[in-house]
Chain A
Amino acid sequence: MTEQDIHSTPLIELTDINKYYPVGKNQLHVLKNLNLTIERGEFLMIMGKSGSGKTTLMNIIGFLDQISDGTYQFDGEDASKLSENEKSKLRNQYLGFIFQQFFLIPSLNVRQNVELPMVYSGNKKDGKRKELANHYLSLVGLEDKTHVKTTELSGGQQQRVAIARALVNDPLLIMADEPTGALDSETGQDIMNILTELNKQGKTIVMVTHDNDMRKYATRVIYMKDGLFLTEEEYLNA
């Protein structure tokens, strides 16, 4: 394989995927025969109202949930039959998660939170881990908060810690599920500036939002409603 071939493989390729959730005796059809390709270097925005299936789609891409049928190719490899350990490893090495509610671990301080993905990959010495954690914390402007408890930080600061945590293992893909949803618009702006800067430096980003104003940061936008992809007109007219 040549360099060109490797890069011509899409990072994510979902083909005819469906997702059902059992609800009582019925099946809730949450994702309906979706096709989605994500290329390297994109900043893909998934727009949709609450309940449209965005988080479910993210969880599937992030190896946290399984598709009911269809195929999922991650970096050219079939991802449907991975073991728990393999999925854990992929999440650890190739993905970085950013959640609406930040989801830091309260018993650990800022730097320990950021070090955690490296602890689980287990391939770096203590000193190297600290150095990298400090590096990414200064990237998000928190170099002076390394030993602070996460509960003492503002929402915006916590989200920046989460971004640093998502970056430390140099992932192929950053997945952000409503990263600004719990922040005021000004702080949300800061977070979006960081994400856009990362994308400019080459990071692939998938972000979920219901806020139409966020579209300006994306390189591509897809629209979702009731488990289906819509066109821009369909979505805005709905």
Chain B
Amino acid sequence: MLRNLLLSTFLSLKAHKLRVFLTMVGIIIGIAAVVTVSSIGEGMKQSSLKMLDSTGSNVVRLIYRPDVDEDSDSPGEFETYAFSKNDLKLLRKLDNITTISADYGYGFGADESIQVSLSYFDNLGGDQVIANPGNGKNTVAYGRDFIPSDAERNVIILSYQTMKFSLMVNKPEKLIGRAIDVDGEKFLVVGIKNEPDDMGMNMDPNLFSSVIPKKAFNNLSKSKSINGIKLKVAPDTDRDQIVEEANEKLKEYHPELTGNFEEDKSSEQMRQEVENMIQQVVMGLVFITAISLLVGGIGVMNIMYVSVSERKREIGIRRAIGAKPANIMAQFLLEAAFITLLGGVIGILLGWGISQLISTIPGIEAILSVKMTLISAGVSIAIGLIFGVIPAINAAKMDPIKAIYQ
């Protein structure tokens, strides 16, 4: 039955190729616009999140949260706790953790970082500094990257932002080869990182951090307290369970603590916020674009009315040989859905093409998700069904003899 219905739908559409195509144009444009906007939006979202933390959701930042006693006499005083290197060693025994690093600051990403104060002549500022993560493969725009002999020296590759806004130097060349003050120690500036591009998108997750060699980093971090532990977990692991296990392990060794070790959700929250914000902007744009689909839908309704009135006799004949009203309705609904689905598929391809074209502009990335593709296809079918339903009901209700003898 269905196969025959599909076949006869196909045949009756084939008989009116041009008209069917013209009807589809509205849907094609609407879907193409939605797909373009949403895939550019998705690309924007992905690269913003990538910038926020390259390691994405695979990093759990473990912190200590003191037990807040509501009846306490001195509510302002909380028990504080600084992690020790020994705590890091303890956690190494847990499963599903790929790397463990101490967190001296509150930085993004999975790499160990410390907050330091910098000065250059009269200009002072703070910065996040990390230990050379790329082992001599930093994205350096000015000066040079580390060389092996730097390992024992106090050298630094500054982030562009730090140079410009903390040290107030506008020309990178002026700073290369000069010494700056990092937490009271002299460091030689050997390189400056890339300037973040206009869209704030860049592949280097540590773009905003300055980099120093491992040994210098260790020296500086000695005087810092470890605020948290960053656990990089294997993909698809249950974060809550890891946190639970880590809490048990640490409390076993620190029975004196009344609080708990928990995940610091603040960067996760920030990530979520950014994600939501972009999502909302994109949804808003998609919604506006989707209005053009409404116009397309009305076109479909119009053509279905034409099709029904043109094929009155066919409807009457089908009824005379035994078609039930529901069969007639299904036939026209299917026809409408077929037109819009075909339009939708062409629209998806066109939208994909357009977004690929736009993404050749530097800094713009286009990502067409499977989800969006399926939603677009679903929306296309839905438009056909929604706008086809009234003409289809008209066809089904038609009196067979009036339809045949017109």
| Interface, chain A (partner B; CB < 8 A) | 59, 62, 64-65, 84-85, 88-89, 91-93, 97, 99, 103-108, 112, 115-117, 119-122, 126, 165, 169
Q: Which of B14, B15, B313, B323 contacts A120 (CB 8 A)?
A: B323
Query: Is B320 engaged at the interface, CB distance under 8 Å to the other chain?
Result: yes
Residues from chain A with Cβ under 8 Å of B7 in the complex: 112
Contact A108–B313 (Cβ < 8 Å): no
Residues from chain A with Cβ under 8 Å of B65 in the complex: none
Most buried by B among A106, A117, A120: A120
Residues from chain B with Cβ under 8 Å of A62 in the complex: 320
How far apart are the CA atoms of A119 and B8 in the complex, in Å? 11
Contact A103–B313 (Cβ < 8 Å): yes
How far apart are the CA atoms of A115 and B4 in the complex, in Å? 10
Residues from chain A with Cβ under 8 Å of B166 in the complex: none
How far apart are the CA atoms of A43 and B258 in the complex, in Å? 102
Q: Which of A85, A91, A103, A165 contacts B404 (CB 8 A)?
A: A103
How far apart are the CA atoms of A104 and B314 in the complex, in Å? 8
15 A–B contacts, CB within 8 A, in A order: A64-B404, A85-B324, A85-B325, A91-B320, A91-B322, A97-B320, A103-B320, A106-B15, A107-B15, A107-B314, A108-B11, A117-B321, A120-B321, A126-B3, A165-B321
Most buried by A among B7, B11, B400: B400
Contact B317–A105 (Cβ < 8 Å): yes
Complex A-B, nearest 8 residue pairs according to Cβ-Cβ distance, in ascending order:
A92-B322, A120-B322, A88-B324, A107-B12, A119-B4, A107-B11, A117-B321, A103-B317
How far apart are the CA atoms of A35 and B306 in the complex, in Å? 42
How far apart are the CA atoms of A228 and B400 in the complex, in Å? 25
Most buried by A among B8, B321, B325: B321
Contact A112–B322 (Cβ < 8 Å): no
Query: Is B260 engaged at the interface, CB distance under 8 Å to the other chain?
Result: no
Which of chain B's residues has its CB closest to A88's CB?
Answer: B324
How far apart are the CA atoms of A167 and B316 in the complex, in Å? 19
Contact B319–A88 (Cβ < 8 Å): yes
Residues from chain B with Cβ under 8 Å of A104 in the complex: 317
How far apart are the CA atoms of A126 and B3 in the complex, in Å? 9
Q: How far, in Å, is B338 (CB) from chain A's closest CB?
A: 14
Tally B residues with Cβ within 8 Å of A.
25
Contact B401–A59 (Cβ < 8 Å): yes
Contact B400–A64 (Cβ < 8 Å): yes
Query: Is B225 engaged at the interface, CB distance under 8 Å to the other chain?
Result: no
How far apart are the CA atoms of A117 and B320 in the complex, in Å? 9
Query: Is B357 engaged at the interface, CB distance under 8 Å to the other chain?
Result: no
How far apart are the CA atoms of A167 and B302 in the complex, in Å? 37
Q: How far, in Å, is B6 (CB) from chain A's closest CB?
A: 11
How far apart are the CA atoms of A64 and B316 in the complex, in Å? 10
Which of chain B's residues has its CB closest to A129's CB?
Answer: B4
Beyond A88-B319, A105-B318, A119-B4, 7 additional pairs, beta carbon < 8 A: A64-B319, A64-B400, A84-B324, A91-B319, A105-B317, A112-B7, A120-B323
Which of chain A's residues has its CB closest to B323's CB?
Answer: A120
Residues from chain A with Cβ under 8 Å of B15 in the complex: 106-107
Contact B401–A122 (Cβ < 8 Å): no
Which of chain B's residues has its CB closest to A97's CB?
Answer: B320
B4-59: which residues lie under 8 A (CB-CB) from chain A?
Answer: 4, 7-8, 11-12, 14-15
Contact B322–A117 (Cβ < 8 Å): yes
Most buried by B among A85, A119, A126: A119
Q: Contacts A59-B401, A122-B1 known; A93 to B321 CB distance under 8 Å? A: no
Contact B11–A116 (Cβ < 8 Å): no
Q: Which of B3, B11, B320, B324 contacts A64 (CB 8 A)?
A: B320
Which of chain A's residues has its CB closest to B327's CB?
Answer: A120
Q: Contacts A119-B4, A126-B3 known; A84 to B321 CB distance under 8 Å? A: no
Residues from chain A with Cβ under 8 Å of B319 in the complex: 64, 88, 91
Contact B8–A107 (Cβ < 8 Å): yes
Contact B318–A116 (Cβ < 8 Å): yes
Residues from chain B with Cβ under 8 Å of A107 in the complex: 8, 11-12, 14-15, 314
Contact A119–B325 (Cβ < 8 Å): no
Contact B325–A108 (Cβ < 8 Å): no
Contact B321–A92 (Cβ < 8 Å): yes
Contact B11–A119 (Cβ < 8 Å): no
Q: Which of A88, A106, A115 contacts B322 (CB 8 A)?
A: A88
Contact B8–A108 (Cβ < 8 Å): yes
Q: How far, in Å, is B308 (CB) from chain A's closest CB?
A: 14
Contact A119–B401 (Cβ < 8 Å): no
Q: Which of B12, B321, B324, B400 contacts A116 (CB 8 A)?
A: B321
Q: Which of A99, A112, A169 contacts B8 (CB 8 A)?
A: A112
How far apart are the CA atoms of A61 and B16 in the complex, in Å? 36
Which of chain A's residues has its CB closest to B13's CB?
Answer: A107
Q: How far, in Å, is B169 (CB) from chain A's closest CB?
A: 77
Contact A120–B324 (Cβ < 8 Å): yes
Which of chain B's residues has its CB closest to A120's CB?
Answer: B322
Q: How far, in Å, is B9 (CB) from chain A's closest CB?
A: 10
How far apart are the CA atoms of A105 and B317 in the complex, in Å? 8
Q: Residues 376-406 of chain B: 1 if any A CB is under 8 Å from the residue's CB, otherwise 0?
A: 0000000000000000000000001100100
Residues from chain B with Cβ under 8 Å of A122 in the complex: 1
Residues from chain B with Cβ under 8 Å of A121 in the complex: 322
Residues from chain A with Cβ under 8 Å of B400 in the complex: 64
Q: How far, in Å, is A170 (CB) from chain B's closest CB?
A: 13
Residues from chain A with Cβ under 8 Å of B1 in the complex: 119, 122
Residues from chain A with Cβ under 8 Å of B327 in the complex: 120
How far apart are the CA atoms of A93 and B400 in the complex, in Å? 17
How far apart are the CA atoms of A165 and B323 in the complex, in Å? 14
Residues from chain B with Cβ under 8 Å of A91 in the complex: 319-322
